[in-house]
Amino acid sequence: MPTKDAYIGRFAPSPTGPLHLGSLFTALASFLQARKSHGHWLLRIDDLDTPRLAPGAIENILTTLDAYGLHWDGEIAYESQWLEHYQNAIDQLTKNDLIYPCICSRKQLTRYRLKNPEIITYPGFCRTRQHSPTNPHSLRIKTPGQIISIFDFLHGQHQQKIHQEIGDFIIKRRDHIFSYQLSVVVSDHLQKITEIVRGIDLLDSTPRQVFLQQQLGFATPHYQHVPIIVDALGTKLSKQAFASPVHTKNSSQTLYYLLTQLQQNPPHELISAPINELLDWAITSWDISRLKKISVINL
């Protein structure tokens, strides 16, 4: 078991398809940061969004990580096994008068924004309305007027006026699926995560998560948001954009390429070295500060 002051990092992929190069890039960064810190690297499967789960995706994720030598510590965690904890968090927020039901559909909100293009956040229609609990509804959290400020080691201070820039956001969908913003906060708390290394596309979500941590009385981990990999058109590699799966053949060359993209400058003689030898070098030489102020890596 990790000690109280141990470094605990994590990789938390969604099994909506096979791992692509962008996912492996982030996994490698978080793995190396944990190992360089003599800490623990946990694997958590974000399997809450059941309509989007892809058959065989979990097995692909595990096989790919194993093929690249990214071995996690302890048992794999599955968010679908923590539903009670997410509901407990909602109950606590409800008790503190921070939650309200929202019956607005996506179609209704889209129509409203077409007529009112200057409104970019949820307009708060349901904040003060009373609804029958039998009506299909999502749950939104009341957001604060003050600025939420976070510090990211790679990108410095990041501030957000959540109410003005985001609005009251959903923490449980009308299909009864807990939102990412809530589940990630509760899951990181349950696993006692001390530092989160993830893609910069999630930097904008971080103030919302810090706000939820504050309301739930959770500790805030350290954050480091690494660059995302984009294709020739500038589009982030993602499953939604049909990014190609990572192949386990020629894994040493792929790992060498990723270390180069992570600005670690591996020596050329390691380009075909065995995975364990390449990772040993990478852990010893790892310096995440070389990624400071870098947001995008071109494929």
- Walk along the chain (299 residues) and give the pLDDT tens digit of each residue: 455 579 999 999 999 999 999 999 999 999 999 999 999 999 999 999 999 999 999 999 999 999 999 999 999 999 999 999 999 999 999 999 999 999 998 888 888 888 888 777 888 889 888 776 778 899 999 998 889 999 999 999 999 999 999 999 999 999 999 999 999 999 999 999 999 999 999 999 999 999 999 999 999 999 999 999 998 777 777 766 556 889 888 899 999 999 999 999 999 999 999 999 999 999 999 999 999 999 999 98
Beta bridge partners of 96: none
What's the pLDDT at 96? 97
Whether residue 167 contacts residue 124, with contact meaning beta carbons closer than 8 Å, is answered with yes
Order across the sheet with 8-11: list the strands.
Answer: 8-11, 40-45, 77-78
What's the pLDDT at 120? 77
3-class secondary structure, 225: strand
Q: What DSSP state is assigned to residue 74?
A: S
3-state helix, strand, coil in the chain (%, to 5): 40, 20, 40
Q: Where are the domains of the chain?
A: 8-81+181-298, 83-180
pTM of the model: 0.93
In single-letter form, the type of residue at position 18 comes to P
What's the pLDDT at 1? 45
Name the CATH topology of 83-180. Glutamyl-tRNA Synthetase; domain 3 (3.90.800)
Whether residue 204 contacts residue 230, with contact meaning beta carbons closer than 8 Å, is answered with no
**Could you tell me which CATH number the domain at 8-81+181-298 has?**
3.40.50.620
Tokens of 174: 């009308």
What's the pLDDT at 240? 64
